[in-house]
Amino acid sequence: MKKLLLLFCLSLFLACENSAEKQLQSKSKPVDSTENFGIVIHGGAGTILKKNMSDSLEKEYKAKLEEAIKTGHKILADGGNALDAVQKTINVMENSPLFNAGKGAVFTNAETNELDASIMDGKTLNAGAVAGVTTVKNPINLAWEVMENSEHVMMAGKGAEKFAEERGIELVTPEYFYTENRFKSLQRLKKRESKKTELDHNANETAFTDPFIKDSKFGTVGCAALDKNGNLAAGTSTGGMTNKKWGRIGDAPIIGAGTYANNKTAAVSATGWGEFFIRGVVAYDISALMEYKNMSLQEAAREVIQKKNPELGGNGGIIAIDHAGNISMEFNTAGMYRAHMDKEGNLKIGIYEKD
């Protein structure tokens, strides 16, 4: 009888141990999150009207947006991380003269090209940014280096270029960024400006409330991605505002304004009139509304882009993806170059408001 009781107790113990081990294995086994990965991009927001776009140019934009987003999507589909997908996707757009970033950067008043970029890791909240660089072929790559291989978040100008040289980042001569259409845009803007009455002591305020200058910035590029491990990342790259002066820097390299990523909420990249995106801390504000008010990504994006930012006087848009893979492409302008892909590879590309 004692033997039977002993055997019963032993079998019960083994069964419980086996069950506990299975539960532990179940908890430690990676969750299959492949259904959550996705990527979304923008190529700038502004007065983008179909009546002003030739069929051939529209095809060029759509082809480049498709090339860019498929580059990042493949990285994610193959199990790569969100940061790598963001960086490589933005590289495609930086290397194209179609966008106001890298090769297609707009000109300053001094007829130079000054580039800004930033990138952020939603897992660690680590971030890197560069501003006012003139010889870095792909500013987003330098922003990544600042994040990963320095104790800083932002570097600017010659110092940033020195760091780029030390890190082996590809440098080019300033002439690399010259494009005829961007240069002509600057000349048109300067000619218009020269016809105006000389500005008074409130020159800065007057210049930035000029509607023509307000629409002189679009083409900034950005990407937000969610990888199979549930990590988010966002990045933004730009040439800034046509005819900018005095070393002006917009929202693109400002963490929380033009770029933000947090695994708790979403990854966001912004484009538009940077002064107002900085004042509204737009990218972070969307995340904060999600975290503290329990808004969905779409609700938060709509609140910021359709209400809060316009109330300040700003215009533009954002692209974002949340920790569950939901997408937002919210803008308050006539158009925004944009695209997104889900884990099945479904692709959507848009340019105009009703796309």
Catalytic machinery residues: 220
Distance between CA atoms of residues 229 and 234, nearest Å: 15
Query: Tokens at residue 292, please?
Result: 């503290």
Q: Looking at 171-231, which runs of residues are DSSP E strands? A: 221-226
Distance between CA atoms of residues 197 and 273, nearest Å: 24
154-156 and 127-133 beta bridge pairing: parallel
Residues linked to residue 352 through DSSP beta bridges, in sequence order: 335
Which residue in 266, 326, 340, 330 sits closest to 301, CA to CA? 330
Measuring CA to CA, how many Å separate 109 from each of 45, 106, 152, 185, 354? 22, 10, 30, 11, 34
Distance between CA atoms of residues 205 and 214, nearest Å: 12
38-46 and 127-133 beta bridge pairing: unpaired
Q: Is residue 163 within 8 Å of 141, Cβ to Cβ?
A: no
Distance between CA atoms of residues 47 and 334, nearest Å: 5
Q: Is residue 41 within 8 Å of 82, Cβ to Cβ?
A: no
Residues linked to residue 234 through DSSP beta bridges, in sequence order: 120, 224
